Amino acid sequence: MTAVATRDMQEKALPGTTVEAPPAATAPSRRTGYLDEVWTASARVEGLQWEMDEAEDVLARAMRNASAAGAGLPDLAIASGMSFADIERLLKDSARD
């Protein structure tokens, strides 16, 4: 069976079959959406900072243990991939905590 739509039929759409575009986001809702992104990104940065602080503490403790066992600054630099100055700074900063 083939249906043929005439111009008269096309002008009279069935109720409830029209598709309307969603309303454009209002300025406050866009602003809130952006702020949600800021909150999320800020929380992620803070979490990563906590992880970095913990990782640096673990590294400093491992370096102190290695140094106490006889490892020299060149050994620590090779093992950590850090410069002498960075190692000394890390050990000095961690000794204050």
**pLDDT band for position 73 (cuts 50, 70, 90):** very high
* Strand residues in 30-80 grouped as ranges (E): none
pLDDT tens digits, residue range 47-67?
Answer: 999 999 999 999 999 999 999
State how far the Cα of 87 lies from the Cα of 96, in Å rounded to an integer. Answer: 15
Token duo for residue 80? 């950590």
Residue 90 has pLDDT above 80, yes or no: yes
Cβ atoms of residues 36 and 69 within 8 Å? no
- Count of residues for the chain? 97
Q: Which residue has the higher pLDDT, 9 or 32?
A: 32
Q: Which residue has the higher pLDDT, 94 or 73?
A: 73
State how far the Cα of 47 lies from the Cα of 94, in Å rounded to an integer. Answer: 20
Residue 50 has what pLDDT?
97
Output DSSP code: residue 72. Answer: -
Q: Which residue has the higher pLDDT, 7 or 83?
A: 83
